[in-house]
């Protein structure tokens, strides 16, 4: 799954998503030391942490996402460090006090083999008793196979508007959710151009993640149903996992 094509849409869609920022900054400040962020994207969380004085390195496979992250850094007068690589295969000399994987970054690991490889690799890059913290959405699916518009409309300075339509397909036996986006931009004169993108995510159940962590050498995680704490309930939209190397 390559995010190069998504970089611009991604910023437009998620720059406003702030639910997790103070949580990750709080964890980084409590743990102290250098942080590795897996799947850093265009640096939404990376930049927030850096602005708070946290020393953070963003690992990201997509060159285009990193480029946009660097553009953001320049625009904000920040220095951000990114390294190109994937969770399962990156190799760094450095050992970190904390590894984070915010906003569903682990949902791009599709098989148990890829997941375990990534978690073991993360563990290898942590200091003894280092912390690993990440969040995943709770699989609650909307209307499948139906064209939806979920209120995502962006207005451009020249008067054009972009509407994001989507169709989701659920592959239950493989726990995969594929979203086809149709990104329609209407020019001021009325001409419409459409850009399609496809995103496949592998969703997890809570206890599956607990077993994976155990298999990869992590201790029993603290699992909460929001970034503010509290248990995972029927109403939770996210599962937040906090664990340490055992």
Instruction: Please choose, from the candidates 193, 170, 181, 237, the residue with its C-alpha nearest in 3D space to the C-alpha of residue 13.
Output: 181
Cα 174–chain centre separation: 20
What is the chain's alpha carbon radius of gyration, rounded to the nearest angstrom? 18
| DSSP conformational letter for 96 | E
- Return the bridge partners of 5, or none: none
Interactions with ligand SAM, residue window 62-101 (CB under 6 A)? 62, 65, 86-87
Pairing mode, strands 222-224 and 238-244: antiparallel
List of E strands, 138-210: 148-155, 161-171, 176-186, 192-202
CA–CA distance, 228 with 22 (Å, rounded to integer): 10
**Between residue 13 and residue 32, which ones bind ligand SAM under the rule CB under 6 A?**
14
When binding is defined by CB under 6 A, the residue of 21, 28, 31, 40 that contacts ligand SAM is: 40
Minimum distance from residue 7 beta carbon to ligand SAM (Å): 8
Binding span for ligand SAM by CB under 6 A among 104-112, 149-157, 159-167, 217-225? 104-112
Among 41, 69, 130, 225, binds ligand SAM (CB under 6 A): 41
Write the burial class of residue 39 (CB in 10 Å: 0-12 exposed, 13-18 middle, 19+ buried): buried
Residue 62 or residue 226: which is nearer to ligand SAM going by CB?
A: 62
Asked if residue 103 binds ligand SAM (CB under 6 A), the reply is yes
Residue 3, interface with ligand SAM (CB under 6 A)?
yes
Q: Which of 21, 28, 36, 38 binds ligand SAM (CB under 6 A)?
A: 38
Report the interface residues with ligand SAM, using CB under 6 A. Answer: 1, 3, 14, 38-41, 44-45, 60-62, 65, 86-87, 102-105, 108-109
């Amino acid at each position: 799954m390559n995010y190069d094509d998504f970089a611009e849409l991604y910023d437009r869609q998620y720059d406003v998503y702030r639910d997790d920022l103070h949580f990750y900054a709080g964890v980084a400040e409590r743990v102290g030391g250098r942080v590795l962020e897996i799947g850093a994207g265009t640096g939404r969380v990376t930049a927030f942490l850096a602005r708070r004085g946290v020393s953070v390195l963003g690992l990201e496979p997509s060159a285009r996402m990193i480029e946009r992250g660097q553009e953001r850094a320049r625009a904000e007068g920040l220095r951000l460090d990114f390294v190109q690589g994937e969770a399962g295969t990156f190799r760094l000399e450095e050992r970190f006090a904390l590894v984070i994987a915010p906003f569903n970054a682990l949902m791009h690991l599709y098989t148990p083999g890829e997941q375990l490889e990534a978690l073991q690799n993360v563990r290898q890059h942590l200091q003894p008793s280092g912390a690993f913290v990440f969040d995943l959405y709770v699989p609650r699916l909307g209307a499948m196979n139906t064209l939806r518009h979920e209120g995502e409309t962006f207005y451009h300075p020249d008067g054009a508007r972009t509407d994001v339509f989507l169709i989701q397909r659920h592959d239950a036996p493989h726990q995969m959710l594929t979203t086809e986006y149709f990104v329609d931009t209407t020019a001021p004169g009325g001409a419409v151009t459409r850009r399609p993108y496809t995103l496949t995510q592998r969703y997890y159940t809570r206890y599956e993640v607990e077993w994976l962590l155990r298999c990869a050498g992590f201790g029993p995680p603290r699992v909460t149903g929001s970034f503010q704490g509290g248990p995972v309930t029927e109403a939770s939209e996210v599962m937040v996992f906090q664990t340490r190397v055992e």
